[in-house]
Structure 1
Amino acid sequence: MPRAVREQQMLDAAVRTFARRGYRNASMDDIAEQAGVSKPLVYLYLHSKDELFAACIRREAASLVAAIRAAVEHDAPADRRLWSGLHGFFAHTAEHPDGWVLLHVQARTHGGPFALEVVAMRAEIVEFVTQALTAAARENARCGSARGTGRITGGEASGLAYALVGAAESLAEWAGDPAGGGPSAEEAAATLMNFAWTGLGSLMRGERWSSGEHTPA
């Protein structure tokens, strides 16, 4: 079997084992057994438990980002582009639940350089969403708004992107259990769009919430 194929089998087995048992409880013996290879072969290919864990995180992070980018309908209106990216996110996390647990739970729990790998992935997704929101605001401004300028500042776009990504992460567990009554990827994406896009539409029309308008008498 080619080395690259064998290595992917080992990584598949490692992702399952780390996600289900946690980093500390997972053993190289478990991973070798899952992969159907000897433990010395795992060490030969991936050197150590730390390096194996890091390789799993990098692979799953790259796969998630690629899935989101591939799902985006680049020629569609701004709301459809955002929805399609969210759909790609929820579809991928539902199809790869062990990979999502590895990224969202295990890497963060174990901390150190592993958590930094996830931070870098999240920053890339946030930047992607920030660009999408900025583009949506520009489209709205070009179309003309009856009440507002349709502009979102750079800081606002970044903050909104962080909020949207955080909400998507929170919904992923719910959307990842269709057998337990969870929604499909389409439904999860629509739920988040219903929550977020309506508010974004008002913001782009120049309708801003102000604490002064809601101060109790």
Structure 2
Amino acid sequence: MPRAERERQMMDAGVRVFGERGYRAASMDEIAELAGVSKPLVYLYLNSKEDLFTACIRRESAALIAAVRAGVRVDVPADRQLWDGLTAFFAHTAEHPDGWAVLHSQARSGGDPFVAEVVAMREEIVAFVTSLIAAAAREAHGDPELAEREVAGLAQALVGAAEALAGWANGDDSVSAREAAATMMNFAWAGLGNLMAGARWSVPDAS
């Protein structure tokens, strides 16, 4: 079997075991057995448990980012682009629950090197969402009225909410990716749409 295919099998097994058990509780014996290879072969190909977990995080990160980017059409209005991206995000996390568990929960509790990998992935997604919100501001105003710092903050809030919603949606088989995306749009775009139209919320007068 070609080396690349063998490594894919090992990483598939790793994602499943790490996703279910976490980094510390995962057993290399179990991963090797699930992949249908010997444990020494796993170490030969992927060096160590830490390196295998890191490789799994990087692969699942790249797959999620690629899915979101591929799902967004550039020739549609900004709200449709956000809808497309959210639908792609929720569809991918639902189709790859172990991969999402590795990224969203297991890597974050595994220690600093693994957290750094997830932070890098999240920063790339936030940057992408930031560009969508900035494009929406330009579309609404011609000359955007949203400050760069405000756009970045909105993107952080949107990504954080989507991550939390994915955990809820993946725990309920009756919730489809489109339903989760619609929930997110109702939560976020209603407010963003008003913001793009210049209708800002202001702090009530304490008096």
Alignment match, 1:145: none
- Does residue 196 of structure 2 align to residue 204 of structure 1? yes
Contact 1:14-1:56 within 8 A present in 2 as well: yes
Residues 13, 34 of structure 2: 8 Å contact kept: yes
| Deviation larger for 150-159 or 63-72 | 150-159
Q: Does 1:103 align with 2:113?
A: no
The answer (yes or no) to whether the contact 1:150–1:206 under 8 Å persists in 2 is no
Measured in 1, the distance between the counterparts of 2:189 and 2:23 equals 38
2:148 alignment counterpart? 154
SS of the residue 2:201 aligns to = coil
How many aligned residue pairs are there?
207
CA distance in 1 between counterparts of 2:144 and 2:124 reads 25
> Deviation string for 1:41-84 (max 9, x for gaps)?
10110010010010000000000000000000111110000110
- Between the two proteins, what is the percent identity of the paired residues? 65
Partner residue, 1:176:
170
Scaled by the length of structure 2, the TM-score of the pair is 0.97
Task: Name the residue aligned to 2:187.
Answer: 195
Report the aligned-residue RMSD.
Answer: 1.2
Among 160, 163, 185, the alignment partner of 2:177 is: 185
- Within 5 Å, which residues of 2 pair with 1:1-217? 1-142=1-142, 151-179=145-173, 181=174, 183-211=175-203, 214-217=204-207
Distance apart, 1:153 and its partner CA: 1.0
Deviation of 1:215 after TM superposition, in Å, equals: 3.1
Q: Which amino acid aligns with 1:110?
A: G
Q: Which has the larger radius of gyration?
A: 1
Q: Is the 8 A contact 2:134 2:144 kept in 1?
A: no
Q: Which runs of 5+ in 2 are unaligned?
A: none
Q: Work out the CA distance in 2 between the residues paired with 1:111 and 1:187.
A: 34
TM-score (norm 1): 0.92
Are 1:137 and 1:150, in contact at CA under 8 Å, matched by a contact in 2?
yes
